[in-house]
């Protein structure tokens, strides 16, 4: 799972990792947050145990800064054994639905190469009553082999009633302050990814996101539209890597607070 970067690149982006100032702020902020939210830990724990069988906390391996793997904590918001059901829910994946909608729009367009050249760029095919050039036909066919790096579902059937409440208010994220205290994460950074998502992002274009600290909140979490296409989400992660600073972190934290009260079904 580890990905190696050349020495020059590692040195260039070294200051985006958790430096001493950021680390001290993370420890201070996390301790204050844990003290303030300690009553919620007690209440949420009881509600989770009353509603469904299983542990109070959801613990999984996540990939953070520099492809380092660590144990990640959240309050459990799903029924026990939900990860085994993930492969059956691909039709609910918003990232996959978004890709399909994109292709449906583009299917009606003519081949861009034919338009640019003013002639047919490849032999014409007659398929289902429609004439289409061979190159554009195979390009559309390739795009229909849909896969998605990330998974996000609206009204995920695996989520419990208590889970829906703590997800909408982001209270399921509270245990991650322990990850911050341990040094696995920072308050602000790029979200740590499950192994099955991170292993798909190993090209140089995508690996920039792993040069910044893993964080509880970040740029894409504070956007009014919490759902972005894969390309937009990765671009925002790369953007944070390039613009990270104490001032930017403070602005992201302040903009994160209203998102706790933002109504969302996913």
Query: pLDDT per residue over 135-189, tens digit each?
Result: 777 777 666 655 555 556 566 777 899 998 998 888 999 999 999 999 999 999 9
Is 131 found in the same domain as 180?
Answer: no
Is 139 found in the same domain as 167?
Answer: no
What distance in Å separates the CA atoms of residue 164 and residue 1, rounded to the nearest whole number?
32
What distance in Å separates the CA atoms of residue 49 and residue 38, rounded to the nearest whole number?
17
Residue 1 included in any domain: no
Tell me which residue has tokens 């992201």: 252
pLDDT at 11 over 60: no
Residue 185 included in any domain: yes
Residue 255 makes CB contacts below 8 A (sequence gap 6+) with: 222
Average pLDDT taken over every residue of the chain: 77
Is 120 found in the same domain as 26?
Answer: no
Identify the CA nearest to 174 among candidates 79, 16, 38, 23: 38
The residues that bridge with 141 in the sheet, in sequence order, are none
What are 216's two structure tokens? 């509880």
Is 185 found in the same domain as 255?
Answer: yes
Q: What is the mean pLDDT of residues 238-256?
A: 86
Q: Tell me what pLDDT residue 99 has.
A: 55
Task: Specify the pTM.
Answer: 0.68
Residue 42 included in any domain: yes
pLDDT at 63 over 80: yes
Q: Give the residue numbers spanning the domain of 98.
A: 94-143
CA torsion sign, 50 to 54 to 59 to 61?
A: negative
What is the per-residue DSSP string for 74-140? EE--B-TTGGGGGGGGGGGBHHHHHHHHHHHHHHTSPPHHHHHHSS-SS-EEEETTEEEEHHHHHHH
Residue 162 included in any domain: yes
């Amino acid at each position: 799972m580890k990905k190696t970067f050349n020495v020059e690149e590692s040195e260039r982006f070294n200051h985006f990792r958790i430096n001493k100032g950021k680390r001290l702020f993370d420890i201070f902020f996390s301790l204050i947050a844990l003290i303030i939210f300690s009553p919620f830990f007690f209440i949420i724990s009881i509600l989770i145990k009353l509603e469904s069988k299983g542990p109070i906390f959801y613990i999984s391996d996540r990939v953070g800064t520099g492809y380092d793997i660590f144990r990640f904590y959240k309050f459990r918001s799903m029924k026990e054994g939900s990860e085994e059901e993930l492969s059956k829910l691909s039709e609910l994946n918003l990232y996959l639905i978004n890709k399909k909608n994109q292709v449906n729009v583009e299917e009606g367009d003519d081949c861009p190469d034919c338009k640019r050249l003013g002639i047919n760029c490849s032999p014409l095919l007659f398929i289902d009553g429609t004439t289409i050039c061979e190159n554009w036909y195979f390009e559309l066919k390739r795009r229909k082999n849909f896969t998605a790096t990330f998974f996000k579902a609206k009204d995920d059937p695996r989520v419990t009633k208590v889970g829906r409440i703590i997800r909408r208010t982001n209270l399921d994220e509270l245990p991650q302050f322990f990850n911050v205290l341990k040094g696995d994460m920072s308050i602000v950074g790029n979200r740590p990814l499950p192994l099955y998502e991170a292993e798909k992002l190993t090209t140089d274009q995508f690996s920039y996101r792993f040069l910044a600290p893993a964080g509880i909140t970040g740029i894409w979490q504070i956007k009014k539209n919490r759902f972005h296409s894969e390309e937009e989400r990765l671009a925002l992660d790369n953007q944070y890597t390039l613009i990270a600073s104490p001032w930017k972190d403070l602005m992201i934290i302040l903009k994160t607070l209203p998102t706790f009260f933002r109504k969302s079904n996913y």
